[in-house]
Amino acid sequence: MPFSTFQDPADLARAPGALEQLWQRIKPIIEEADQQREYDRLVYLVAASALAAHDEEDLIERVWERYWQR
């Protein structure tokens, strides 16, 4: 899991929570056949952005914007 490399307890705490909130927003608008691929993409976006985010809300905002920049 990409979050296993985090050393700061705050990063470890906010990344899974942000992922869950983002997935709950995105999942309903993704076709079922594409859901696993999009979930995996979301995991990596969260992992890539977590260390730069100030808190969970900032992380969610960063990933939400990045997710839609295809």
Q: Which of 32, 64, 28, 34 is nearest to 46 (CA)?
A: 64
Phi, psi values for residue 24, rounded to 5°:
-65, -30
pLDDT reported for residue 1: 53
Cα–Cα distance, 68 to 45 (Å, whole number): 11
> What average pLDDT score do residues 50-55 get?
89
Q: Which amino acid is at 64?
A: W
Residue 48 has pLDDT above 60, yes or no: yes
Domain spans of the chain, in order of start: 31-70
Is the full-model pTM beyond 0.95?
no
8-29 per-position pLDDT tens digit: 666 667 889 999 999 999 999 9
Contact yes or no for 44/28 (Cβ under 8 A): no
60-70 per-position pLDDT tens digit: 999 999 999 97
